[in-house]
Amino acid sequence: MGKTIAEKIFSNHANKDVKAGDIIIAKLDALMGQDGTSPLAIKVFEELGGTRVINPEKVLLVTDHSVPPPNEGVANLHKLMREFAEKYGTQITEFGEGVCHQVFMERGLATPGSLVIGADSHTCTYGALNCFSTGVGSSELAAAMYTGKLWFKVPSTVKININGKLPKGVVSKDIILYLVGYFKADGLTYKAIEFDGETIRDLSIDGRATITNMVVEMGAKAGIMPFDEKTKEFFKNIGIVINNGIEADKDAEYESIYNFDISNLEPQVALPHTVDNVYPISQIEKIKIHEAFIGTCTNGRLEDLRYAAQILKGKKINKNVKLIITPASKRIYMQALKEGIIETFLNAGAIVTNPGCGPCVGTHQGVPADGENVISTANRNFKGRMGNNKALIHLASPLTVAASAIKGEITDPREFLD
Amino acid sequence: MILKGKAHKFGDDINTDYIISGKYKFKSLDFNEMSKHLFEDLDPEFYKKINPDDIIVAGKNFGCGSSREQAPLVIKYAGISLVIAKSFARIFYRNSINVGLPLLEADTDKIDNGDELEVDLFQGKIYNKTKNITILSKSTFPDIMVKILQAGGLVEYLKKEGDFKI
């Protein structure tokens, strides 16, 4: 019987033939920890009596969730991370380099066919580059630094084919919001997802990463994109030559196969307070907006900023709206500067913050007021997520968020596109 | 292993942001202090309602969302002895076992807030003393998880075994 991509990657890393359902120990290629999870991992590593980190050059620690530090507690935890990186020789980001998942990809740590874990639930993002990456907790990050390995249950795979030409004003965020609404928050728990189809093949790596980023919102362990010329190009641009990826066998055994045609998909919006509470924009009644946020590991990439700029160019945002824009990395920020995108945002009335997670997790940089409606390009809209449990968070694409910031209410971006 | 406590009932899809808000987890590693904020966004007084060994009972997909291990740690430090839910999210499930917080999957419809429970963890038997009914868990832990749980968590397991073993 043939193998899925997940079964192939786990077989390669367990040094034996494995299939879905097997409990295995696998060698890891690269590890990631951010500032909300690394400090606890460092504490656990010390409790284990660790004296060296296995392959420290493949371990990246990132200060992104609260950077620059908004209080002394965070500043001290960042210091702990810097001291650990120095002592054990791991990689650590420069201050304000960007969101962990974007920086991890830019540094070339997630390569096709590799097995990666990160102490952040959105570690599944790197599947956009045809690898198996999944989120773990701090203890497992510590155990992985200590042993270079981790135990896994090889997941069964669900194949999702997406076909059709994306309509005007509809982007990859709308596809993944639609899928989360379809499968619901626990619909694909413990599964690996293989994505394919002409729509997926047409998407850029940025667009694919938006989709793989959010597979965890359906409970999935990983989402894996096909390897193609776009993947090669991505690595070429960061100075790495990669010619081969992992493909599933023709006779691979899938738990199920879904086919979606998105030719008639509308822009989608997730209403408060769950990510799977998704509606097409035409079905949403008028909702006034007080805060709009464009950024995060879901939608803070260059393509996303270009989409937002396309809508905001030459326009002013509504006077009752705070628009916060956070590029996902310094590299993206600098390219956006060159393209005049940042100037467009500032002229429109936005605040552009330093790269990082921004207000997504409610630690700083844009906590909404009581009763305020927020529209955001992030991946979660849980009550209290942005630091105030009396605010209401709506999720949408960068196009929809930009259009909504101009009108001051949730707005179909097609109104602004010719 | 017999666990006895009063049930605190929750619904479906309880995410780790509700268990412990992001604004606390980034500041500190003091879990006794953090445990005062357990479920704060759902019930600001929740912490005061917990007696030692109480049991959290929930619907499906408990612990979805962020990978924060602070979530099971804060539950454990608050004095909760066990979480019973219809199902758990993947990362939370692993994190709980790794920090030595026991979990059981079971049909929780016949458990109400305040019911007194007696649970035989490894037999998977939940006796609802208040309603005089027994509910059987559907949990089956792989051997490696049983070993981690029996050791008291991942740190103790790795100290004992020196490496992951199957």
Show residues of chain A in contact with B64, CB under 8 Å: 185-186, 219
Query: CB contact, 8 Å: B15 with chain A?
Result: yes
> Are residues A256 and A356 both part of a single domain?
no
B97 → chain A, closest CA residue: A139
Q: Which of A260, A287, A305 is the last residue of a domain?
A: A260
User: A288 by DSSP, 3-state: which?
Assistant: strand
Q: Phi, psi (5° rounding) for residue A260?
A: -120, 140
- The answer to whether the Cβ–Cβ distance between B164 and A140 falls below 8 Å is no
CA distances from A76 to A35, A72, A87, B74 (A): 11, 6, 16, 21
Q: Which of A260, A290, A314 is the last residue of a domain?
A: A260
The mean of the pLDDT values for chain A is 97
Q: Comparing C-alpha atoms, which of B140, B141, B139, B147 is closest to residue B166?
A: B147
Domains held by chain A: number: 2
Whole-model pTM? 0.97
- Provide the token pair at B136: 């059987």
- Cα(A321)–Cα(A292) distance, rounded to whole angstroms? 7
Q: What is the pLDDT of residues A327-368, one digit of tens each?
A: 999 999 999 999 999 999 999 999 999 999 999 999 899 999
pLDDT of residue A418: 80
Inter-residue contact B99 to B92 (CB < 8 Å): no
* Residue A183: pLDDT over 90: yes
> Are residues A342 and A361 both part of a single domain?
yes
How many angstroms separate the CA of residue A313 from the nearest CA in chain B?
34
Query: CB contact, 8 Å: B43 with chain A?
Result: no
* Residue B26: pLDDT over 80: no
Query: CB contact, 8 Å: A274 with chain B?
Result: yes
User: A268 by DSSP, 3-state: which?
Assistant: strand
> Are residues A76 and A207 both part of a single domain?
yes
- Cα(A293)–Cα(A300) distance, rounded to whole angstroms? 10
> Are residues A274 and A256 both part of a single domain?
no
Read off the pLDDT band of A161 (50, 70, 90): very high
Q: What is the pLDDT of residues A101-120, one digit of tens each?
A: 999 999 999 999 999 999 99
- The answer to whether the Cβ–Cβ distance between B65 and A44 falls below 8 Å is no
- The answer to whether the Cβ–Cβ distance between A65 and B65 falls below 8 Å is no
Query: CB contact, 8 Å: A44 with chain B?
Result: yes
> Are residues A169 and A109 both part of a single domain?
yes
- Average of pLDDT values for A46-74? 96
- Average of pLDDT values for A202-221? 98
Show residues of chain B in contact with A23, CB under 8 Å: 142-144, 166
Q: Which of A234, A260, A286 is the last residue of a domain?
A: A260
Beta-ladder partners of A394: A375
> Are residues A236 and A301 both part of a single domain?
no
The mean of the pLDDT values for chain B is 94
Domain assignment present for A189: yes
- Average of pLDDT values for B6-26? 92
- The answer to whether the Cβ–Cβ distance between B26 and A120 falls below 8 Å is no
Q: Comparing C-alpha atoms, which of A344, A349, A294 is closest to residue A316?
A: A349
Which residue among A189, A361, A382 places its CB closest to the CB of B89? Answer: A189
> Are residues A9 and A128 both part of a single domain?
yes
> Are residues A89 and A158 both part of a single domain?
yes
Q: What is the pLDDT of residues A271-321, one digit of tens each?
A: 999 999 999 999 999 999 999 999 999 999 999 999 999 999 999 999 999
Which of A385, A390, A392, A395 to probe the B interface (max B CBs under 10 A)? A385
Lowest mean pLDDT among A371-380, A405-414, B135-144: B135-144
Domain assignment present for A172: yes
Domain assignment present for A129: yes
- Cα(A9)–Cα(A328) distance, rounded to whole angstroms? 28
- Cα(A163)–Cα(A49) distance, rounded to whole angstroms? 52
Domain annotation for chain B: domains and CATH numbers:
2-138 (3.20.19.10)
Give me the domain span that covers residue A287. Answer: 270-416
* Residue B122: pLDDT over 90: no
> Are residues A235 and A377 both part of a single domain?
no
> Are residues A228 and A279 both part of a single domain?
no
Domain assignment present for A282: yes
pLDDT of residue B1: 84
> Are residues A61 and A197 both part of a single domain?
yes
Domain assignment present for A265: no
Inter-residue contact B24 to B41 (CB < 8 Å): no
Residue numbers of B between 108 and 147 with CB closer than 8 Å to A: 142-144
Show residues of chain A in contact with B60, CB under 8 Å: 186
Q: What is the pLDDT of residues B34-73, one digit of tens each?
A: 999 999 999 999 999 999 999 999 999 999 999 999 999 9
pLDDT of residue B141: 84
Query: CB contact, 8 Å: B91 with chain A?
Result: yes
User: B36 by DSSP, 3-state: which?
Assistant: helix
Q: Phi, psi (5° rounding) for residue A135?
A: -85, 145
Size of interface A-B (CB pairs under 8 A): 144
> Are residues A95 and A232 both part of a single domain?
yes
Show residues of chain A in contact with B149, CB under 8 Å: none
CATH number at residue A284: 3.30.499.10
